[in-house]
Structure 1
Amino acid sequence: MKTGKIGLGVFLLAIGIIWILISFNVISFSYVTTFFISAFKLWPLILIFIGVNLVFKYNSAVKTISWILYFSIVLSYGIIANPKIGFEGVKINLDLGNRRNENYVKYSEKIKEATKNGKIDISLGATKINLDGNTKELFSADVPESVKLNKVDYSNNDKDVKIDLNKSHYFDFASKTCSFNLNKNVLWDIDMNTGAINGTMDMTDIKLKKLDLNIGASSIDMKFGSGYDKTKVDINAGASNINLTVPRSSGIRIKISKITNHTNLDSLGWNKNKDVYESPNYDKAESKIDMEVQMGISNFNVYLSE
């Protein structure tokens, strides 16, 4: 039997076993997310091991050992660098990205009295993100210098404003922290496109009209408030661990597809019609949140806040 077929068989067998273990809650999905994030950070390793395979292409033993070593290094890095899913008490900082001495810059814009509606476009690579509504400015951002503020455009007699921030290049695989603060008195439309991310988006105090989130393999907590009567949320994610916290008083409707792992939606006692979940108070609630969620192999949970 050819070595390539053996390798493919072993790969499919491993995926199948991992999938079953996750489905029966033997292992947590966070291990899978951490593996992908670790592989992303340690991407140069893949070049080394591909080179080894090319040099020893006729030695199946060396090729097999090399890939076992690669996966072991990536998984070990993920466990040690993230104590929450590794060994309790281990706090070894292996965040390779933060060892790069990239300077940070701060952007902000004074809020104008006439400004009522804001749209912010954020395009980033792999990053750690913190977003909340804690600023008296129109917005503020504390980001690596590779993230540029392209424009702040006002229109309609300063009633509307559009903000555009993006990373100037995508070949920086370091995971840096990006912090964004939005004024809670402005009605916001947030459009975010990123690679692998982790962190928190606390929109409890933000008047949110629309959130469009396009992310890769990620682990993120999102908190929503009830500051606007009709909020639209679109989430498109790869293999991810996503936790949502929504107000119990709000009417919630979630259309979810491509979930191939775990979600707690069935345990909430909500009304269900095919792939749509709806809270019992949806029709009568003064504040509504409508979500469309598309994800790969994922962990997706919804929690209710008072």
Structure 2
Amino acid sequence: MSRKGIGFGVFLIAIGILAFLIQFGILSGSVLMVFINHAELTVSLILIVVGINMIFKKYSFVKVLTWLAFFVVMIVYGNYAEVDVEKSSNDTSKTFAVEQYKETGNGELNLSASAINLNVGSTDANLIDGMVKNVGIDHKENYKNDNETAIIKFETNSKDVFENFFKNLFTAGKFSIDRKCNLNLNSSVVWDVKMDLDAIDSDIDLSDLKVKNLDIDGDAGSFKLTFGREYKSTKAKIDADAAKVEVFVPVDSGIRVKIDGDASSTDFNDISLERKGEYYISKNYEEMDEKIELDVQIDAGSLKISGI
């Protein structure tokens, strides 16, 4: 082996040994998590090792000793700071809330999210509240018509993705990232909701919400939507590619469905719909006071509509 390859070889061997010891519980994952949480310290130590190797580049044993010393420091300091790392690693959940004005009766929500587990439900405590785990979230609030209509924009970001990936890898031995967002909308407000979702595993429960319009643009995910009878006329547009879409509708509401695209499968369960032109329509559609209209465009995915 050339002299240039000795140091890098030792580095790779040491990383492999540490990963092996962590996977089998011989060492704590905090050994490496300390260096992820304290990137400045890690970079400083690496620069010192590289600098020493440049000065003594004629001596191969120096490369071996310096990299071994680097990992010894990592193990010792990691075990010393284990308690602090565990506390910081577990503190990844945050709550949020948007207060409701008494004048606010209408809401417009625009949500953009990717690579998370999304749950949507209802609340009476605030205009919007919820919790995020391993997810950064930004939001903006605007109001119009003397606070009668709230315009809320939520957007998740990926600031902590890589940090959380390594935390899961080294502390739990998993390659996945546990990213969650629970979002609750006020049940007394009439909502227009627009969602731009990518790589999402979602459970969107609107059964207790007054939803006037719903527009979902989703790719490469799993989407479960449950509608209720809280609003007299709900119009929903779903555009999904490479996705599994499950829709649950109350059988005692008037249902009209339009399906376009090239879904791999389309199923109707526990609901009777008749084909009339380009629509599937429930027999009671014209009679019912509450109506739900679905416009579904799905490609390379599956669609299931079930009655509840």
Quickly name the TM-score band, shorter chain normalised.
Answer: 0.5 to 0.7
CA distance in 1, matches of 2:110, 2:178: 20
TM-score, normalising length from structure 1?
Answer: 0.62
Partner deviation per Cα, 1:168-217 (whole Å, 9 max, x = no partner): 35994845111100110000111111111113111100000111111111
Q: For residue 299 of structure 1, what is the aligned residue in structure 2?
A: 302
Q: For residue 134 of structure 1, what is the aligned residue in structure 2?
A: 123
Q: For residue 253 of structure 1, what is the aligned residue in structure 2?
A: 256
In the alignment, structure 1 segments of 5+ residues that lack a partner are: 1-99
Is the counterpart of residue 239 in structure 1 residue 228 in structure 2? Answer: no
Q: For residue 219 of structure 1, what is the aligned residue in structure 2?
A: 222
Q: For residue 56 of structure 2, what is the aligned residue in structure 1?
A: none
Is the counterpart of residue 209 in structure 1 residue 212 in structure 2? Answer: yes
In the alignment, structure 2 segments of 5+ residues that lack a partner are: 1-88, 163-176
Identity %: 28
Partner deviation per Cα, 1:138-164 (whole Å, 9 max, x = no partner): 110212465333311121111100111
The structure with the largest alpha-carbon Rg is: 2
CA contact (8 A) 2:115 2:200 kept: yes
Q: Which residue identity does 2:100 align to in structure 1?
A: I
CA distance in 1, matches of 2:244, 2:267: 12
CA distance in 1, matches of 2:263, 2:246: 16
Across the two proteins, how many residue pairs are aligned to each other?
206
CA contact (8 A) 2:93 2:131 kept: yes
CA contact (8 A) 1:125 1:170 kept: no
Partner deviation per Cα, 1:99-151 (whole Å, 9 max, x = no partner): x8783332202222111000111101111111001342111021246533331
CA contact (8 A) 1:102 1:145 kept: no
CA contact (8 A) 1:237 1:295 kept: yes
CA distance in 2, matches of 1:128, 1:188: 22
Q: For 2:102, what is the secondary structure of its paired residue?
A: coil
Q: Which residue identity does 1:140 align to in structure 2?
A: D
Q: Which residue identity does 1:115 align to in structure 2?
A: T
Q: After TM superposition, give the deviation of residue 273 of structure 1 in Å.
A: 2.7
Match of 1:160 among 149, 152, 156: 149
CA contact (8 A) 2:270 2:307 kept: no
Matches within 5 A, 1:274-289: 274-289=277-292
CA contact (8 A) 2:105 2:190 kept: yes
CA contact (8 A) 2:256 2:279 kept: yes
Q: Which residue identity does 1:139 align to in structure 2?
A: I
Q: For residue 112 of structure 1, what is the aligned residue in structure 2?
A: 101
TM-score, normalising length from structure 2?
Answer: 0.62
CA contact (8 A) 2:263 2:303 kept: no
Once superposed, what is the RMSD of the aligned Cα atoms? 2.3
List structure 1 runs of 4+ shifted beyond 6 angstroms: none
Partner deviation per Cα, 1:245-283 (whole Å, 9 max, x = no partner): 111111111110114322123984422134421111111
Match of 1:228 among 217, 227, 231: 231
Matches within 5 A, 1:60-139: 103-139=92-128
CA distance in 2, matches of 1:139, 1:267: 33
CA contact (8 A) 2:226 2:249 kept: yes
CA contact (8 A) 2:269 2:305 kept: no
Q: For residue 143 of structure 1, what is the aligned residue in structure 2?
A: 132
Distance 1:201-1:301 versus aligned 2 partners, 3 A rule: same
CA distance in 1, matches of 2:222, 2:112: 17
Q: Which residue identity does 2:249 align to in structure 1?
A: V
CA contact (8 A) 1:107 1:149 kept: no
Distance 1:195-1:143 versus aligned 2 partners, 3 A rule: same
CA distance in 2, matches of 1:175, 1:292: 32
Q: After TM superposition, give the deviation of residue 241 of structure 1 in Å.
A: 1.5
CA distance in 2, matches of 1:145, 1:267: 38
Q: For residue 193 of structure 1, what is the aligned residue in structure 2?
A: 196
CA distance in 1, matches of 2:270, 2:133: 41
CA distance in 1, matches of 2:237, 2:145: 27
